[in-house]
Every structure is written in C-alpha cells, then in structure tokens.
Amino acid sequence: MSKILLDLRALLDLEPIERDLFRGKVAGTGARVLFGGQVIGQAMVAACRTAERRLPHSLHCCFIQAGDPQLPILYQVERLRDDNSYSMRRLTALQCDNAIFSAMMSFHVEESAAFDHQDKVPVVHPQEQCVVKEKFGWPTFIETPQFIRRHYGIDLRPVETGRYLGEKVVDGAVHLWIKIAEKLPVDPALHMCALAYASDYSLLDAVTARHGRAPFDRRIMVVSLDHSMWFHRQFRADDWLLYAHDSPSAQDGRGLTRGLIFRPDGALIASVAQEGSVRERR
C-alpha cells in the first residue's frame, strides 16, 4: 500500500492561542478548496478541549464559504451550557477574519439507559472482498484508493464497484468500508473527531449514484452545505467500519443524503445527514 503522506494526528492537534481559541494547520491535497471534513474534525477537537471528561454526542455544522487550503484556520469556541448532564458549545472557524464555518456541538456524561435499540446492519460483502480490481482500472479517476489514502489518510473500499463505471444505483443505497489509515491512540474523543473528519468524504455520492453518474465525474460540481452527526456507541476509527448512505431527495440543485455507520459486529455507532449543492457544470 502507498505511504501515508497525511499525518492525521498532527492535523487534528490544534495549537492553543488563548482560552477557547485554537489554530489549525491545513492539509495540502492539491484541491482548490479546503476539504470540509478537515474543518469538521478540527472544530470537534477545539470543542472537546473545552469540555473535559465529556464526550460529544451530536454536532450540527454549516459551511459558510469555501476555505482556502493555503491558510491556517482559527477556531473560536463559545461555552453556552454546562450542567450535570450536558455541555453545549458554539464554534466559528475563521480565515483572515472571515467566518468560513459554524457549528453547534453537544456533550453528554455517560449514564445508564432504560431504552436501547438500533437498526440492523445491512448485509453486504465483507471488506476483505471489496477490493477494486485491476479490470476497473480507475481510468478516469484522480481520487483512486491510493490517492485517498495518501492525501486524506482514509482507507476506503466501496461495495458497489459498478457505480464507478456508471452503473445506476436505483434506490441510492451506497455502501463503503472505511477507516482511518493510521493507528490512533486509545482516546475516544480523538476517534470521534477522526470519524467526523472521514464522514464528509463521499457522502454526496449517494445523490449522483441514483442517476448513474460515477464518483469524481468532472462534469458535476458537488459542495457540502451543512453536516450533522450523532454518536451512539463506542468504536475505533482506525478499525474497518461500514458506512451505509442513501439519498431520499434531490431537487433545485441540492441533494439530501443520510448515513449510518456500523462496526463489523453490527453495532450502530453513528448517524449522519448532509445536504449539498449538486449541479452539472455549464
């Protein structure tokens, strides 16, 4: 496998500037705009630094404008609530004094539960059988699995490989095996931040898959508008996880996607929702 060029742990290790103010580095992927997952992951790290001994259970983000991949990012955290059970933080990401991203994040102390249920894990091929064969060739794609690993620090194995050749996914159900490529230390908050980082990658593919459009089609412009995530059960982001997502609606140049993330043992660990701008280039 290719050497990892992206040091995700370093990327998520923010520099403290003053109380509730942090600076984050940017990762050079060669893209013209900043990867949204990087801002989500770093924002979560900043908020976690202000909510000790509590883990995040939800985040709700809005992308205000495209980030510059050449400039560092400042993360300003506001402490809105701290009580016996919950903490809430509001966060703004800035470049050159301009807000590029905002988020609300909620933290919860661990407690016993009277109710515990989850949806069943989809039945798909295990990750070891989901290797992109040479016959597919990825002939027109820049973002091959090797490229994704090197520049995003994510290992990714698609289940429905036919969609990379333009096969239509009728119900829009797309499945990926995904994990952080490098081994992470035992830190539940870091694994949550790393998964939030990775969760933004490929989610809007479910919109175009329903129309038989391959991922990374240069004729389509896809931009995340907002992103929400809920954490349910413990996990490791550096273990293989099944990311199942679909798109219930697309209209007026926007598409909605939903995602469920499962451990290999079938436990539902997180839910995701995102709306994005999905347009054909003119």
Catalytic sites, residue numbers:
200, 224, 274
Helices (H), the chain: 8-11, 36-48, 145-152, 188-199, 205-209
Please list, residue by residue across 12-29, b when 16 or more beta carbons sit within 10 angstroms of its beta carbon and e when fewer do. Answer: bebeeeeebebebbbbeb
Establish how many alpha carbons lie within 13 A of residue 183's alpha carbon, considering only the half-sphere containing its beta carbon: 2
Q: Are 172 and 242 in contact (CB under 8 A)?
A: no
> Residue with structure tokens 């989901």?
130
Number of helices (H) and strands (E), helices first, in the chain?
5, 12
- Identify the H or E element spanning 231: strand 220-231
Q: CA-based angle 271:242:152, to the nearest 5?
A: 90
Query: Which residues is 150 bridged to in the sheet?
Result: none
Distances from the Cα of 129 to the Cαs of 125, 126, 177, in angstroms?
Answer: 6, 6, 10
Q: Which residue has the tokens 């770093």?
A: 42
- Going across the sheet that includes 86-95, the strands are 15-18, 21-24, 73-82, 86-95, 98-108, 55-63, 220-231, 268-280, 254-262, 241-251, 174-180, 154-158
Helix (H) or strand (E) holding 146: helix 145-152
Beta bridge partners of 67: none
